[in-house]
């Protein structure tokens, strides 16, 4: 069993969250990946400047190099700019679990610093990061590791089993959950409506945003989740009532498949073209027969959206011609 041997380090916990979290945004900008750096691997026998940071270990402030194996979780490269926008006072503190490197060197495992530089055996003040889903990305942007716990392992297997067990059910937020947080963080009504529509109707975020006709991107969702409001706030193309009516009509024809993207996407495409009114498109949707719906359901997945679009277009064209004849009469 992994034995925790540091006690004093966890006493430094009573600080205010704003003070306990020291974010180094320059580190967030420069740290790319903890994967081995091919260039620096070629320079294995040459001296390289290892990345270092302050850590409070047993109540003593030390300058250490945080090491990783090639099996470590990669840092999110696409979020470097977003990290610089984080408000440290709104980040909960975490405990960083570190272990001594000797076991890894004895077993022949190379260790790397945060920039992918290989760490020579017996380099002093090196500690291997025992990663969790909460801290794997934060260790690279913290100026000071305030809450540190040193853990000892007797084998590499025990180390890996500890990582696996600790992270067994860990996960990030789902896309729908991210939108819910973004809605609460910014007060945006469109995001709140999409979240509630997805939850209430047990459908994916992608389908829910299509029914409400709300444009959103992953980067925008992340920005809003930390409280950054975009210059152009997301808006709904349909009201919640209109979206609910559209879903109900689609369910009458396609059943549970109404929650699939290939049903709503052609409807939105036709509306955006503005050749036909919303009422005309709704009337065309109501005119789809059960036979046509079955034809859509048994078609290949990549053909269903085009098939729905073609059916709606033919019905709209037919309806327009009938209107012209009626007006002429």
Model confidence band, residue 288 (pLDDT cutoffs 50, 70, 90): very high
Report the share of the chain in percent with pLDDT over 90. Answer: 71
**For 90, which DSSP code?**
G
pLDDT at residue 132, as a whole number: 94
The residue whose two tokens read 């209430």 is: 200
Evaluate if residue 14 carries a pLDDT over 50. Answer: no
3-state secondary structure 41-69: HHCCCCCCCCCCEEEEECCEEEEEEEEEC
Evaluate if residue 3 carries a pLDDT over 70. Answer: no
> What average pLDDT does this structure show over 145-166?
96
Evaluate if residue 31 carries a pLDDT over 60. Answer: no
Q: Across the chain, what does the average pLDDT equal?
A: 85
> What average pLDDT does this structure show over 278-294?
94
Paired with 119 in beta bridges are 111
Evaluate if residue 25 carries a pLDDT over 60. Answer: no
What's the pLDDT tens digit per position in 44-101?
545 678 999 999 999 999 999 999 999 999 877 767 778 888 888 898 999 999 999 9
* List of residues 6+ apart from 283 with CB closer than 8 A: 319
> What average pLDDT does this structure show over 216-234?
92
pLDDT at residue 238, as a whole number: 96
> What average pLDDT does this structure show over 153-179?
95
Model confidence band, residue 10 (pLDDT cutoffs 50, 70, 90): very low
Phi, psi of 2 (to 5 degrees): -65, 130
pLDDT at residue 9, as a whole number: 39
pLDDT at residue 321, as a whole number: 58
> What average pLDDT does this structure show over 152-173?
95
Rounded distance between C-alpha atoms, residue 72 and residue 127, angstroms = 14
Rounded distance between C-alpha atoms, residue 264 and residue 257, angstroms = 10
DSSP secondary structure, 159-193, as one string:
HHHHHHHHTTT-----HHHHHHHHHHHH--HHHHH
pTM: 0.76
Rounded distance between C-alpha atoms, residue 305 and residue 285, angstroms = 14
Report the share of the chain in percent with pLDDT over 70. Answer: 82
Q: What is the phi-psi region of residue 15: left when phi exceeds 0, alpha when psi lies from -120 to 50, beta otherwise?
A: beta
On whether the CB atoms of residues 150 and 8 are closer than 8 A, the answer is no
pLDDT at residue 77, as a whole number: 72
Strand, coil or helix: 260:
coil
pLDDT at residue 318, as a whole number: 87
Evaluate if residue 22 carries a pLDDT over 60. Answer: no
* List of residues 6+ apart from 26 with CB closer than 8 A: none
Rounded distance between C-alpha atoms, residue 59 and residue 6, angstroms = 9
On whether the CB atoms of residues 227 and 87 are closer than 8 A, the answer is yes
Model confidence band, residue 23 (pLDDT cutoffs 50, 70, 90): low
pLDDT at residue 142, as a whole number: 85
pLDDT at residue 46, as a whole number: 56
> For the ranges 11-25, 113-127, 134-148, 157-171, which has the lowest average pLDDT?
11-25
Other CB atoms within 10 A of residue 92 CB: 8
């Amino acid at each position: 069993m992994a034995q925790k041997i540091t006690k004093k380090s966890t006493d430094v916990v009573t600080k205010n969250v704003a003070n306990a979290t020291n974010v180094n945004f320059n580190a967030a900008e420069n740290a790319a990946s903890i994967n081995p750096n091919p260039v620096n691997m070629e320079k294995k026998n040459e001296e390289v400047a290892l990345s270092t940071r302050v850590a409070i270990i047993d109540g003593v402030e030390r300058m250490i190099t945080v090491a990783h194996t090639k099996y470590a979780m990669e840092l999110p490269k696409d979020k470097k700019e977003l990290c610089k926008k984080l408000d440290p006072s709104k980040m909960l503190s975490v405990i960083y679990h570190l272990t001594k490197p000797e076991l890894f060197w004895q077993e022949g495992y190379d260790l790397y610093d945060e920039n992918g530089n290989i760490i020579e055996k017996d380099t002093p003040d090196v500690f291997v990061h025992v990663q969790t889903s909460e801290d794997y990305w934060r260790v690279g942007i913290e100026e000071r590791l305030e809450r540190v716990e040193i853990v000892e392992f007797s084998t590499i297997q025990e180390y890996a089993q500890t990582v696996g067990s600790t992270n067994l059910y860990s996960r990030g937020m789902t896309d729908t959950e991210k939108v819910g947080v973004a809605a609460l963080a910014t007060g945006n009504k469109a995001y709140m409506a999409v979240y509630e529509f997805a939850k209430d109707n047990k459908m994916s975020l992608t389908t829910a945003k299509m029914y409400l006709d709300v444009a959103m991107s992953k980067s925008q969702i992340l920005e809003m989740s930390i409280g950054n409001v975009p210059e152009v706030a997301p808006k709904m193309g349909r009201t919640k009532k209109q979206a609910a009516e559209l879903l109900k009509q689609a369910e009458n024809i396609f059943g549970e498949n109404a929650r699939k993207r290939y049903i709503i996407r052609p409807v939105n495409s036709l509306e955006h073209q503005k050749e036909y009114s919303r009422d005309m498109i709704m009337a065309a949707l109501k005119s789809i027969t059960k036979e046509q719906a079955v034809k859509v359901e048994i078609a290949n997945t990549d053909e269903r959206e085009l098939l729905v679009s073609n059916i709606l277009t033919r019905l709209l064209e037919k309806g327009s011609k009938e209107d012209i004849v009626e007006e002429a009469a």
